[in-house]
Chains A and B, each alone.
Chain A
Amino acid sequence: MSVRYLAAIVVLGLLATPIATADVPTTQPISQVVKPTLVTLDLDKVAAKDAFAELQKRSKIKVNIVPPDLLARSDTPITLKVKNRPWLEVMLELCDQAGVYPSNYGNNWNITQQGDRRLKARRVIDGPTMIVCHNATTDSEIRFGDAAKTVRTLTLQSMLFTEPGSPVSGISTVTDVVATDDLGRELKPVSTEPAIFSAGYERRDFTIALPLPDADATSIKRVSGKLLAAMLAESAELKIPDLLRKQGDTITFRSATFTVSEVRSVGNWYQVELEVSRGDLPLETFQRLRTNMPPFDPRAENEKQAGIIRVNQVQTRGEDQVLTLTVRPQNIGAPAQPKDEADKPVIDLAWTLPVSYRHVEIPFELTDLPIPR
């Protein structure tokens, strides 16, 4: 090989290096970021209540039983022998055997009599994540004046769940979708759409729409792809002690600022305007200040009292946001009294806000989904 060729290879290699670096994806496969909680159980005809207690003891993951005596009512003995299986898989198996249903809201898993029956549908558990495809819909349409044939589409509705401790804040993209029908034809998706739900961190919905060129296929043999999602990495607590007496004060939270611009007395409660300048708050957090975990009063004795502070309204003001908080320190039904500064109760505000996210890829594969007829 001549020197000229070698020089050319070196130059090309140098040119290629920064391109290759720039192409490194900023997302990581979820398996590299979060390890599933693995559970080993050996239950032989034990009561449902004891089985769930054993699961909680082994996994250190708490689920809420609603009502608390629900499992005591179940007289079905549970037999389950598993070794190093993901927590989601074991929890769902126990629910199936006990005849109860799990449901997921926010950061919590609840076990109830009714629950979310969609979780019984096509589910694929992979480590700390679970994809449930719960609905398949065929649309056939004639558009008068547009085309002389029927357009047919299959829409698959699915949900993503993660086990507690690895909360996903939202699916941003559904990508690399490949689908094949039972006749071996490849179907390119018409659209893929993540649905951003405001409440809760863990459950996320998405749809995949596939064209159905002919009426002869009866099922989708395989559909696979990847979800790109943001996963909560770190939270921090914002604190504004004695909120109602802080009008005009600015509280710095990392490099963001929260200014209490107005405190108004409205009958028996208060309205507080909070101007938020984003600073280094992640966009996901800044855009969801109303729908993130709500602020609370840490001095409150119980959950109900802690919920007296609510974000009622969010307005954009330039690059900042103005939040309107309602603070209801006493029973709304009590007669309104004129208040002066001394009458104001002491309300402390605490707010757990996500301050950093990781971006992860969650692969999925679903098989043998029927095409409704």
Chain B
Amino acid sequence: MKWPLFIFALTTLAVAQTAQPEAEQFIRDLTATDWAKRQQAEDSLVGAGAPAIDAINAALATSTDFEQRDRLQSALARIGREQLLIATPVTVNGRFERPLDAYTALARLVDLPTKCENPDAEARATAAVPVDLDFTDKPWLEALTETVARTNVNIRLEDEKLTLLRVPPAAIRRPTHFAGAISISADNARRRQATDLASGNTTSSLQVRLAAMCEPKIKFRAESMRLMVSKLLDQNGESILGDAQRVVPMQRESGGRYTCTLNFNTAKNAPTAISLIEGDLVGEIITRTIEARVEDLTALPQTLETPAGTIEISSLVRTGKNWSLAVQISRETNFHQSLANGLATDTRDGLHIVDQFGEPMRVNLTAQSMAQATVDVTFTLSSTNSDAQPAKLLWNIASQSRDIRIPFVLRDLPMPN
């Protein structure tokens, strides 16, 4: 195989270098008597970005002024959020001999391995079909989308891998809005007409399915994502917002992919096309996790003290071919209530159980109950190996999150007739 002729480089994040004394001045201005000056100082601190974080933390350790502390914490949160939403930049100039090589290079930038869905997918991905890429500081998701178009090999972004698929992408354009490390696109549009054969009445409905894709570094708290639609125009530019849902919860599908269905109340005068969908993607992204670890699951109960609270791994019982693991989490006051609520569903990313052979076991939530400060969770553990017995536990529990709001615009979606 020929070595690929490419120059490959990852650019560093372009972060404004702000002098420490300047940040300290902004921090002092947070106690100014003029509200506008205090607000401007907070915005300036956020604008200074990551280099201001040390100064902010130092000030938080000593400040006793209520509003200054509040604004320092707000600035810290805003910096963290905005840093997280910055796309991983991709700079690639050159030729890859096979599609798989191009995807492997892209996936490596976000610490993901690549995997082919099946032998057919592998045959397509490893065919000697050269791929020319010429990206300079291109956001990672945009680079990935562009590579799909150039290789004609489709992909699926999953929890811990980038999967190359057997079925190729087709020609129709997928309307997409890129916003840094997140993209929002239209999946499909469906018109349904149902006739009740007893009464002869026909009802119609129209649905548009939208999807959000995130870089692997972004994890949303389960069930926190919403799509808020603020503008919706038909093919004539007339507003049809009144016919549609305005707030739509998004469901997690796999890895960094979330979807929702926008329902229209009536399809009597259903549009033949949607010329514009405008709105915001809102949700909580997890900014910190804590790690709970049990090295020997045969010796229970075990109590794990973490900064966010106490985790008691209470019992492990065999139920038929599966195992049932009972866990109680006592929440400390600093443990975000919404994270406690979504604890069980968030574990799809974070809870890893391995058996005595070192093989991962499948984890499913079977029950969850909540009291004022405790969450009781029961998981069912299963394996294809009937001799498998849970041996070790590693749990990355979300302990801090940030609200985000990402404006988006999608244009020119044809509707089915």
Q: Which of B175, B320, B321 has the most CB of A within 10 A?
A: B320
Contact with B along A24-53 (1 / 0, CB 8 A): 000000000000000000000000000000
Q: Which residues from B are CB-within-8-Å of A121? A: 196-198
Task: From the candidates B198, B320, B415, B417, name the one contacting A134 in the complex (CB within 8 A).
Answer: B198
The docked-state distance in angstroms from the alpha carbon of A141 to that of B191 is: 6
The docked-state distance in angstroms from the alpha carbon of A118 to that of B414 is: 35
Complex contact A150–B417 (CB within 8 A): yes
Complex contact B416–A142 (CB within 8 A): yes
Q: Identify the closest chain A residue to B192 (Cβ).
A: A139
Q: Smallest Cβ distance from A247 to chain B, in angstroms?
A: 20
Count of chain A residues near B, Cβ 8 A: 33
Q: Smallest Cβ distance from B164 to chain A, in angstroms?
A: 16
Q: Which residues from A are CB-within-8-Å of B171? A: 148
Complex contact A142–B415 (CB within 8 A): yes
Q: Smallest Cβ distance from B415 to chain A, in angstroms?
A: 7
Complex contact B196–A135 (CB within 8 A): yes
Complex contact A144–B187 (CB within 8 A): yes
Contact with B along A134-162 (1 / 0, CB 8 A): 11111111111111101010000000000
Complex contact B197–A133 (CB within 8 A): yes
Q: Which residues from A are CB-within-8-Å of B414? A: 142
Q: Is A98 an interface residue (CB 8 A)?
A: no
Q: Is B174 an interface residue (CB 8 A)?
A: yes
Q: Which residues from A are CB-within-8-Å of B172? A: 142-148
Q: Is B236 an interface residue (CB 8 A)?
A: no
Complex contact B195–A143 (CB within 8 A): no
Q: Which residues from B are CB-within-8-Å of A215? A: 417
Complex contact A315–B197 (CB within 8 A): no
Q: Identify the closest chain A residue to B194 (Cβ).
A: A137
Complex contact A142–B197 (CB within 8 A): no
Count of chain B residues near A, Cβ 8 A: 31
Q: Is A62 an interface residue (CB 8 A)?
A: no
Interface residues of B in 63-83 (CB under 8 A from A): none
Q: Smallest Cβ distance from B388 to chain A, in angstroms?
A: 15
Q: Which residues from A are CB-within-8-Å of B330? A: none
Q: Which residues from A are CB-within-8-Å of B333? A: none
Interface residues of B in 179-209 (CB under 8 A from A): 185-199, 202
Task: From the candidates A133, A137, A145, A372, name the one contacting B170 in the complex (CB within 8 A).
Answer: A145
Task: From the candidates A140, A316, A370, name the one contacting B321 in the complex (CB within 8 A).
Answer: A316
Complex contact B416–A150 (CB within 8 A): yes
Complex contact A135–B194 (CB within 8 A): yes
Q: Is B173 an interface residue (CB 8 A)?
A: yes
Q: Is A288 an interface residue (CB 8 A)?
A: no
Interface residues of A in 70-107 (CB under 8 A from B): none
Task: From the candidates A119, A137, A142, A144, name the one contacting B193 in the complex (CB within 8 A).
Answer: A137
Q: Is B319 an interface residue (CB 8 A)?
A: yes
Q: Which residues from A are CB-within-8-Å of B197? A: 121-122, 133-136, 369-370
Complex contact B169–A120 (CB within 8 A): no
- A140 in contact with B199 given A148-B171, A315-B319 (CB within 8 Å): no
Q: Smallest Cβ distance from A15 to chain B, in angstroms?
A: 38
Complex contact A137–B198 (CB within 8 A): no
Q: Smallest Cβ distance from B232 to chain A, in angstroms?
A: 17
Q: Is B413 an interface residue (CB 8 A)?
A: yes
Q: Is A185 an interface residue (CB 8 A)?
A: no
The docked-state distance in angstroms from the alpha carbon of A215 to that of B193 is: 13
Interface residues of B in 390-417 (CB under 8 A from A): 413-417
Other A-B pairs, 8, CB within 8 Å; known A120-B198, A316-B320: A143-B172, A144-B189, A145-B169, A145-B174, A145-B185, A146-B169, A147-B170, A317-B319
Chain B positions near chain A (C-beta within 8 angstroms): 169-175, 185-199, 202, 319-321, 413-417
Chain A positions near chain B (C-beta within 8 angstroms): 117-122, 133-148, 150, 152, 215, 315-318, 369-370, 372-373
A-B contact pairs, 30 of them (CB 8 A): A118-B198, A121-B196, A122-B197, A135-B195, A135-B196, A135-B197, A136-B195, A136-B197, A137-B194, A139-B190, A141-B188, A141-B189, A141-B190, A144-B174, A144-B175, A144-B188, A144-B189, A145-B169, A145-B173, A146-B188, A147-B170, A148-B171, A150-B416, A152-B416, A316-B321, A317-B320, A318-B320, A370-B195, A370-B197, A372-B202
